[in-house]
C-alpha cells in the first residue's frame, strides 16, 4: 500500500482540508475521494510529499511544486498557503500511518 495525500474541500463545504490515506493506486485513491464527495485540488504521492516537506526551502519553492501538480491556477495560492501553514497535519498523519504499518 502506498500513502497518498490530497488538499481540497468537501462538496458542500468550502473550508480547505487535507486527507491522507493508504491505497493501492492513485486512481483508487481518487475514486475514494470522489465517492465521498471530496473535491481534490492536488493529489500528492509519498515521493512528492518528501520533496515538498524536505527539499523546498521557502514559499516560492513550494509554489513552484504546486504549479507542477495542478493546472488550476486559481488554487495555486490556496494550496501553497495550506502547505505552509498546516502542512504539519499532513506530515503528522503520514508519520502515524508509517508507525502503524511497522507495528
Distance CA 89, CA 83 (A): 9
- 103 pLDDT above the threshold of 80: no
Note whether residue 69 is domain-resident: yes
Domain count, the chain: 1
Query: pTM of the full predicted structure?
Result: 0.92
Note whether residue 52 is domain-resident: yes
Note whether residue 100 is domain-resident: no
Note whether residue 34 is domain-resident: yes
Note whether residue 26 is domain-resident: yes
**Band of pLDDT at residue 14, cut at 50, 70 and 90:** confident
Tell me what the mean pLDDT of segment 76-90 comes to: 95
pLDDT of residue 56: 85
Q: What is the DSSP string of 84-98?
A: HHHHHHHHHHHHHHH
Distance CA 33, CA 37 (A): 6
Note whether residue 63 is domain-resident: yes
Q: What does the pLDDT look like over 32-44, one tens digit per residue? A: 999 999 999 999 9
13 secondary structure, DSSP code: -
Q: Which residue range forms the structural domain that includes residue 75?
A: 2-95
- Residue 26 near residue 4, CB atoms below 8 Å: yes
Note whether residue 23 is domain-resident: yes
Note whether residue 103 is domain-resident: no
Sheet architecture: strand order including 38-45: 17-23, 2-10, 38-45
Share of the chain above pLDDT 90, in %: 87
Q: At a CB cut-off of 8 Å and minimum separation 6, what does 73 contact? A: 67
- 21 pLDDT above the threshold of 70: yes
Amino acid at each position: 500500500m502506498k500513502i497518498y495525500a490530497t488538499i481540497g474541500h468537501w462538496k458542500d463545504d468550502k473550508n480547505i482540508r487535507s486527507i491522507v490515506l493508504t491505497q493501492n493506486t492513485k486512481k483508487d485513491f481518487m475514486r475514494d475521494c470522489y465517492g465521498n464527495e471530496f473535491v481534490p485540488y492536488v493529489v500528492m504521492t509519498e515521493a512528492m510529499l518528501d520533496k515538498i516537506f524536505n527539499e523546498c526551502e521557502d514559499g516560492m519553492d513550494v509554489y513552484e511544486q504546486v504549479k507542477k501538480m495542478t493546472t488550476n491556477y486559481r488554487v495555486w495560492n490556496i494550496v501553497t498557503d495550506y502547505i505552509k501553514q498546516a502542512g504539519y497535519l499532513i506530515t503528522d498523519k503520514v508519520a502515524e500511518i508509517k508507525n502503524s504499518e511497522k507495528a
